[in-house]
């Protein structure tokens, strides 16, 4: 077969040249179509950008005026009539502008803006956007509802936690945390205790916004089979509960089977501090896992107890370099306290160790 093809002179074959011409014409047409498509897209994007800038300037001026002077009924009615005529890009620009304004707004300013949105009927348009086909438009509407604190949106935002798009799901969780309505605690607790569909830490941050009202969720999370949930719950308990209530919950976690949980509990106990080092924390300072020892030795700095200075001085001989550095920092910090200070100062004077010198240099620079 190959020998037959070799003896054929393709240059004298009509079908060969016809096929070649067709292929060349098609390739040229495709290139021209691509060039035209790119050019048209660039023109469209430039036009959209110009319209966006113009609308942002106009809408931003209205927002600035409304922030200083309450709008009249005629101005509100005019906006109510204009809102349905906004194009998609105008709605997007308006939403982004409002989010930027609300991000650093005071509670009073946020409440006023929310009332304006209700008066002009914008909340209803945002509700419609929650069901739009494009995920980023759903996300944008959710972000605005969250920053505005629209509590009437809570049921719809709870539905969006189950959205097929992960960006929409995460935005809904964050928005519920910003709004702070207690109806959201139960669905947020579910995604916190059973992670998987939400970015780690998102549900935790949302629950923190509820303060002590989220404490039962974190208490339950301490018993979770998932070690990452237990770690987050340890930080949650220490953040939302009073020290007297958090310490008894965190101390048993120093014996957790997971080094991550033990280290997290030690870190939070260090933030809480106290007047007496517990036996559990003393054992954690000698834990088999170096990450736990680091956290426990650092936590000793929060305890105005001479035993904390003794444990930190022993940690200067730890085989782990980072634990040794934390021990030096802890001794310098303890030297400023009333009860632990004398023992820490004695240990600093007795040991001419490089971790102590390093910590003293950091302290002199205000970094410790």
Residue 156 is assigned to a structural domain of this protein: yes
DSSP 8-state symbol, 289: S
Per the structure, how many domains does the chain have? 3
Of 209, 243, 264, which closes a domain? 209
Find the CATH number of the domain harbouring 267.
Answer: 1.25.10.10
pTM confidence score: 0.79
Domain boundary among 209, 225, 241: 209
**Cα–Cα distance, 214 to 111 (Å, whole number):** 24
Q: Tell me if residue 113 falls in helix, strand or coil.
A: helix
Residue 50 has pLDDT above 80, yes or no: no
pLDDT at 2: 45
Percent above pLDDT 90 for the chain: 56
**Radius of gyration in angstroms for the set of CA atoms belonging to the chain, rounded to a whole number:** 32
Q: Are 207 and 214 in contact (CB under 8 A)?
A: yes
Nearest residue to 137 via CA among 93, 198, 173, 185: 93
- 12 vs 262: which has the higher pLDDT: 262
What pLDDT is attached to residue 46?
Answer: 58
Residues 365 and 287 in one domain: yes
pLDDT at 47 over 60: no
Three-class SS of residue 183? helix
Residues 283 and 265 in one domain: no
Q: pLDDT digit string (tens) for 24-34?
A: 888 888 887 78
Same domain, 94 and 139: yes
Dmax (CA) for the chain in angstroms is 104
Report pLDDT digits (tens) over 103-154. 888 898 889 888 888 888 888 989 998 988 899 999 999 999 999 999 999 9
Within-domain flag for 260 = yes
116 and 187 part of one domain: yes
């Amino acid at each position: 077969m190959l020998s037959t093809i070799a003896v054929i002179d393709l240059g004298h074959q009509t079908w060969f040249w016809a096929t070649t011409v067709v292929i060349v014409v098609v390739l040229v047409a495709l290139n021209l179509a691509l060039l035209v498509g790119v050019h048209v897209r660039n023109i469209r994007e430039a036009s959209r950008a110009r319209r966006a800038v113009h609308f942002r300037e106009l809408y931003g001026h209205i927002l600035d005026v409304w922030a200083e002077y309450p709008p009249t009924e005629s101005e509100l009615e005019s906006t109510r009539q204009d809102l349905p005529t906004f194009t998609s890009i105008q709605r997007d620009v308006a939403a982004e502008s409002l989010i930027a304004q609300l991000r650093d707004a005071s509670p009073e300013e946020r409440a006023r803006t929310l009332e304006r949105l209700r008066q002009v009927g914008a909340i209803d348009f945002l509700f419609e956007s929650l069901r739009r086909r494009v995920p980023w438009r759903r996300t944008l509407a959710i972000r605005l509802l969250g920053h505005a604190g629209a509590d009437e949106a809570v049921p719809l935002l709870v539905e969006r936690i189950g959205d097929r798009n992960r960006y929409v799901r995460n935005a809904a969780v964050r928005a519920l945390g910003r709004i702070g309505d207690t109806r959201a605690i139960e669905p947020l607790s579910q995604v916190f205790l059973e992670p998987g569909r939400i970015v780690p830490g998102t549900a935790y941050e949302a629950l923190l916004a509820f303060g002590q009202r989220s404490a039962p969720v974190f208490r339950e999370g301490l018993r979770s089979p998932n070690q990452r949930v237990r770690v987050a719950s340890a930080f949650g308990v220490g953040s939302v509960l009073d020290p007297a209530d958090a310490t008894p919950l965190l101390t048993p976690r120093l014996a957790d089977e997971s080094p991550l949980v033990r280290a997290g509990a030690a870190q939070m106990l260090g933030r809480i501090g106290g007047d007496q080092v517990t036996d559990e924390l003393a054992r954690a300072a000698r834990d088999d896992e170096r990450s736990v020892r680091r956290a426990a030795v650092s936590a000793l700095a929060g305890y105005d107890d001479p035993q904390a200075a003794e444990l930190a001085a022993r940690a200067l001989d730890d085989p782990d370099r980072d634990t040794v550095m934390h021990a030096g920092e802890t001794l310098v910090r303890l030297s400023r306290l009333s009860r632990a200070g004398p023992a820490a100062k004695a240990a600093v004077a007795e040991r001419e160790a490089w971790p102590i010198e390093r910590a003293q240099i950091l302290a002199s620079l205000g970094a410790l």
